[in-house]
Chains A and B, each alone.
Chain A
């Protein structure tokens, strides 16, 4: 337990520095964007241009860059992400509304790609070099070459337009007044296509890493020992080879989270899923830079949290991780 805590403390300290760099970077981007909050406010409210100087002064925009950065940091410490230009509402409110949808989408897509990907990886890696191994490798490479948004469109054409099995987009049937389980089932049917489009791309990645890890594990002495003990092949594959190849996949889970958040931007746009990714696209369309940077900051925090969780899971799975740090 102390091992996990030491690891957590070390990672947290590192994360704060990383987050600070992200914040400064997003502040610089905000500064580079044409116009400032006052311009946006005047445009949005159609207010009196004579107010501009007064508002700039009141909002501290006429101060030096360093002071403004300090103000920005101070506001962020109070979880104040500023005001959205396009929605005329606090950014924090909008993001918190959209976040759960994206988390459900990402969680389901991760479960799909990790589960099916590792299972197929075990199937391919059980006999390295065999026909099924080679065909699965080529197939996964082809899948990995598919752009997620295009896969989404193809799925729409096949399953929503031609077969009419599944809804074409959105997160639930509008004005259906469903509640409880019926509503959950409705949302689930709406999520089938977006989750597949997002998950199938990354499935290929997990398959390939699992397979490569297994091919490596077959050459290890402990596999030879297991064979010499006369264990059944099935047991060797699952309990010895696959088990050792599983750890790199867990690392990938954390590394992949940032990629998947990026991927959900296009997928949510394709399927009109009202999540964080679609919000990013709406922010771009509405030239709402503060909102876009708010989304980036929240995504960075999300990625850091996911990686912390993955590190903790790793520490529990592999007793070697962090052992030296705890002892020191």
Chain B
């Protein structure tokens, strides 16, 4: 309870939580408010916003309902952002724990692989991965995770290095637990908090990467994405700039909401740490 109260102390955290709540509501309500295919033609083409109240944000070049697309796009952004971040945190935690706990050659090899992944621009890697395997939601999630796990891996490794010298780890060795069992049942859970602190930054980056991929036409073609909407609107940028601007504002607000809520969580736990 008091933890929750501390989170809502700063106006930034409240704003972040509100934005995220709105986004989740949009994503959940999308199929209820706008049943059917959001990519179906709903009215005259290029209807400006606020003209017809059944199509509040107007229509695009092909007469599709921008509001419905926006709601359905929230689903894609949120799903890809969360799934990619979860995958990146998982891979990172496992690699970091293995490297830190095993040490020696295993550590050396895993860290050089991590270096290699950090050397290649992650967006180029995602671009290559999607263009070779073919665009679908799962592939996009994998491509984004491929470039995002290195940060969590480094943090997890650093944490594991300090944890593996603790007494309870020595105790687990003495009672005859297998090294892998110790690594994943005793060490990893205790190394997680600083890794999870990265999640807001990773979710935000994943949402932005997904948008950029769809903008370049490498998103799942069967799904509405905000990046794809911006790319669609680009063709009529001179006459109907709102088609690109509206989904962009949704993206900015979403990412900002993730950052603000993330800062709120970090700050509330920082307060707790300084109090104890």
Contacts and interface: CB of A to CB of B under 8 A. Distances in A.
A147 interface: yes
A141 B260 contact: yes
Interface in A284-306: 284-285, 287, 289, 292-293, 295-296, 299-300, 303-304
Contacts of B216: 265-266, 269, 281, 284
A298 B244 CA distance: 33
Interface string A109-149: 00000000000000000000000000000100110111111
User: Which bucket holds chain B's interface residue count?
Assistant: 35 or more
Contacts of A161: 237-238, 241
A256 B199 CA distance: 19
Main secondary structure of the interface of B (DSSP, over half): helix
B12 interface: yes
Given A147-B251, A300-B119, A141 B238 contact: no
A148 B263 CA distance: 22
A259 B131 contact: no
Interface in A258-284: 258-259, 261-263, 265-266, 269, 280-281, 284
B121 A32 contact: no
B237 A299 contact: no
Given A146-B252, A161-B238, A266-B215, A303 B121 contact: yes
Interface stretch (B96-104, B122-130, B159-167, B182-190): B122-130
A319 interface: no
Contacts of A146: 252, 255
A262 B12 CA distance: 30
Contacts, number: 140
A104 to B, nearest CB: 18
A160 B245 CA distance: 16
Contact of A263 (B123, B125, B253, B254): B123
B20 interface: no
A265 B259 contact: no
B12 to A, nearest CB: 7
Given A33-B132, A157-B245, A296 B260 contact: no
A261 B251 CA distance: 22
A141 B256 contact: yes
A35 to B, nearest CB: 11
Nearest to A283: B131
Interface in B226-241: 227, 230, 234, 237-238, 241
Given A153-B248, A161-B237, A284-B218, A18 B132 contact: no
A216 B124 CA distance: 35
B181 interface: no
Contacts of A262: 121-124
B252 A32 contact: no
A300 B132 contact: no
Across the A-B interface, give the 8 residue pairs with the lowest CB-CB distance, nearest first: A262-B123, A262-B121, A145-B255, A150-B248, A21-B116, A145-B256, A261-B121, A284-B131
Interface of B: 12, 112-113, 115-116, 118-125, 127-129, 131-133, 204, 208, 211-212, 215-218, 227, 230, 234, 237-238, 241, 244-245, 248, 251-256, 259-260, 263
Given A161-B237, A284-B218, 17 more contacts: A21-B112, A33-B132, A141-B260, A145-B252, A147-B227, A147-B248, A149-B230, A150-B230, A150-B252, A255-B118, A258-B122, A262-B122, A265-B212, A289-B132, A295-B124, A299-B121, A300-B119
23 contacts: A14-B112, A17-B112, A18-B116, A18-B119, A19-B119, A22-B120, A25-B116, A25-B120, A29-B132, A146-B252, A150-B211, A150-B230, A153-B241, A156-B237, A258-B119, A265-B216, A284-B131, A293-B128, A296-B120, A296-B121, A296-B124, A299-B120, A299-B124
